[in-house]
Amino acid sequence: MDLKLSGKVAIVTGASRGIGRSIAQVFATEGVRLVLVARSKAQLEEVAASCPVDTLVHVADLRDPDVPATVIATAIEHFGQIDILINNAGATKRGDFLTLTDAEWDDGFALKFFGAMRLCRAVWEHLQQRQGVIVNIVGVGGRTGSAEFTIGGSVNAALLNMTKSLADRGVKDGIRVNAINPGAILTERLKTRVKSYASENRIEETVAPVLMAQALGVARFGEPEEIARMVAFLASPLSEYCQGSVVDVDGGQTRTL
């Protein structure tokens, strides 16, 4: 299916691995030119080499308040336009609420929420010119609270609210803003947790994902490519009636309305 994305320019944050890497590669197959943002130069260059399109690598730490505006300016200088922003960067620490420090809370919001917010603010006028799209990669923890995920859940809930708020403004400005809530996706982080689970329970690593998925009430873990394909759809004109949509891609883990 032609998603009508060829020739567009997309910024993808957290693009060095996992879901971000898959998003970049799926976009590349659709002919989307790319601005890849993350902190690891070597990994970004590896992703760029796998994408057969004009690709700009931008090594940066989005926790720095000045960086988002620089990312946008660099993208405009190189491509002259921005059509799509994918806010994917951000990881938060799990743990006991009573032991999580202020610094860990600050760090959780600094990248995933404030980095995304500042990018949206810096890119807005450029997307308005192109009738562009923002897709925020959030997470099911923003809808369902968990004792071990208080930072991540709070950050995700804030990002979901921002998605709805920007979508409201986007109706007037001609910018579509939507969000995806991934469930348990087999990225490097989850694979590490699988190994720990197998070791702690003295079971084979091949068995651990099955038991962990069952505990979540899903048939299996997801693959990064499954999130990437949904991103491509929401970024395309085929989803043009989606505005402020929050799509759970979680194998049925979220059962609330």
What's the pLDDT tens digit per position in 19-60? 999 999 999 999 999 999 999 999 999 999 999 999 999 999
The Cα-based distances of 129 to 65, 82, 209, 243 in angstroms read: 24, 9, 45, 18
**pTM over 0.85, yes/no:** yes
> Is 256 within a domain?
no
Are 93 and 195 within one domain?
Answer: no
Q: How far apart are CA 181 and CA 159, in angstroms?
A: 11
Q: Which residues have a Cβ under 8 Å from the Cβ of 2 and sit 6 or more positions away?
A: none
The Cα-based distances of 204 to 56, 177, 194, 196, 197 in angstroms read: 41, 42, 10, 11, 10
> Is 209 within a domain?
yes
**Residue 249: its H or E element:** strand 246-249
Domain with 194 in it: 186-221
Are 104 and 163 within one domain?
Answer: yes
- Residue whose C-alpha is closest to residue 11's, from 112, 134, 109: 134
**Residue 34: its H or E element:** strand 33-38
Are 50 and 145 within one domain?
Answer: yes
Q: What is the number of domains present in the chain? A: 2
Q: How far apart are CA 191 and CA 239, in angstroms?
A: 32
Residue 181 DSSP label: E
> Is 3 within a domain?
no
Are 114 and 217 within one domain?
Answer: no
pLDDT digits (tens, 9 = 90+) for 166-185: 999 999 999 999 999 999 99
Are 131 and 207 within one domain?
Answer: no
Write phi, then psi, for 94 (nearest 5 degrees). -90, 160
Are 101 and 228 within one domain?
Answer: yes
